[in-house]
Structure 1
Amino acid sequence: MSAPLRVLIVDDERLARERLKDLLAEAGDMQLVGECRNGNEAIAAIDAERPDLVLLDVQMPGPDGFGVLRALPPESPPAVIFVTAHRDFAVQAFEANALDYLLKPFDRERFRQSLARARDRRKALASPLDTELLARLEALTRRPPHEPERYVTRLVARVGWRMRFLQVEDIDYLTAEGNYVSVQVGKQSHLTRETLSALEAKLDPKQFLRAHRSFIVRLDRIEEVEPLPPGEYVFVLRDGTRLTSGRSYRAQVQRALELPT
């Protein structure tokens, strides 16, 4: 049997935490590693416990749920299921690569469906592709040798036990998930077994911009740019997604977008 999923509960309401604990106890492969009442406790607990899954409220004292996510390092983040009574944050939650969005009140079956997503995610991360097959598939993503460009035109991603080709022209942005990368294509995200730095070297810099240590964005998806005082920029994409660049990437953002220095 595989090790249980280590779960952290974050909710400022005691009764909500108790119900989540009762529901987790009904699943035989979940291990509760802690519970938190506010955002500051959550950030500290995630850093200390390194849970596989966080059941995260949105509105609570201190940093809210999205503030908790922003405070976490991009390396090996836990899976997150938002559990909230507020329906207005669903789009923002999925933009933050949340695994699911549970709207209170929910029933047992809906909760089981969320846990099933967490199990599927771990299977996808823990089950490497056949090495020879992956090498052949990756070779297919490159241009023919007679063409001068060395950049890929397709990426290989995991979809359960299957493999899917993602056309580079369809990609909106890519975000780091430890030794994996989440590739956003429209409303869907796919995991590919590479680091963000490795993919950066494979993507055409005329089409893609590394603007943060945790994300790469496709240039023609950027609709608006909002400068921030510390030297950062907020990118507003065509679909409304907002991504904030890192300060150390200021110069290359300005070059790529031809912004004033």
Structure 2
Amino acid sequence: MKISTALVDDESYASARIKKLILNDPVFEIVGEVTGVEDALKMLKFKKPDVVFLDIKMADGTGFDVLSQLPSDYKPYIVFVTAYDDFALKAFEYNAIDYILKPYENSRFYKVAEKAKEFVSLRRSSLINQQISNLIKQEDQPAQSDANQIRITEKGWDVFIDYPDIIFFEAHGNYCKIHLKNRFYIYKQTMKKLEKELSTMEFIRIHRSYIVNLANINAVQYLGKSEYEFELCNSTKVISGRSFASDIKNHLSMKVKS
């Protein structure tokens, strides 16, 4: 998990210190460093970092001027870093997660950095859960474009997946993962229905949780006790279920190593 981070401070040495401290944690990635309100607005609207370390008083305005002009749909986590202690109450009115008063100890900064990580992690977990919830609400039979593709919807866009590119399907409750070479997609379909859809294609169900593409199997090894280990073309290894041994023998078109 990378956390995009921006620094807004008109004192170069103050900004340099924050940068040095924050980069001690490889999770943080600095995407912008500016010294004023106008440049901050341009950078934040374009980069949309997760976390912003923000000074309050700058030559051309204040940190509050920046926050009051951000788009309503963009809510970064704000950490105020300032030499002024009389703005703390107002800072938290802008949903700041912390207020660091200069000068500060390194340990104080690291505690705030950990807090920022927790906030970002919670937000991302919430978004993932919402995406899964939305998928579960989709129809049980997502539309397919033709006999050679699966069509799914991701973030409002139609994605077309060619069957030959699929390495295997992995069950996850009432939906499954479609594993390709370098990524996967979530597909709203049960394994039982999927197995029926794939019955005329070069796929074989080897486990309650796995359906593999015969064309994308590198090797199969018999482990004994009616179990087989399948090595797939993306180097993934999966072990078959014992109840599927007979079907595997009948459909496997390659030599099985024993």
TM-score calculated relative to the size of structure 1: 0.48
Q: TM-score, normalised by structure 2?
A: 0.48
* Bigger Cα Rg: 2
